[in-house]
Amino acid sequence: MKNLFLAQKVKIGEKGEIEGPLVGINNIGDLINRILPILISFAGLILLFTLIWGGYDFINSQGEAQKVKSAQAKITAGIIGIVLLVISYLLSRLISKIFGLGEGIF
């Protein structure tokens, strides 16, 4: 068995394993590796809607400076969000590779 640093056993039920849709999760690292892609996909969807909302506001601003500025702020927030999302994903994969909790970055 590999040395799993910073990983604790999750014991639920009589057998000491999780039953149901989370079969195969034996420690917190497995749980995080299973949930993380779902959360990142959801965050990416929210960021997509933020960019669409900013673009819609920009098109409908009709040249009014305050509305253009508000739309640009939404688009900028969406772009910053995408950059932070990618950095956080790569950082979490790097940490999981360092501590042997997952398959690593790629």
Per-residue pLDDT at 21: 58
Instruction: Please answer whether residues 36 and 92 qualify as being in contact, where contact means their C-beta atoms are separated by less than 8 angstroms.
Output: yes
Provide the 10 A C-beta neighbour count for residue 101: 22
Tens of pLDDT along 39-75?
A: 888 888 998 899 999 999 999 998 899 999 999 999 9
Is the confidence at residue 23, as pLDDT, over 80?
Answer: no
What average pLDDT is seen over the chain?
Answer: 77
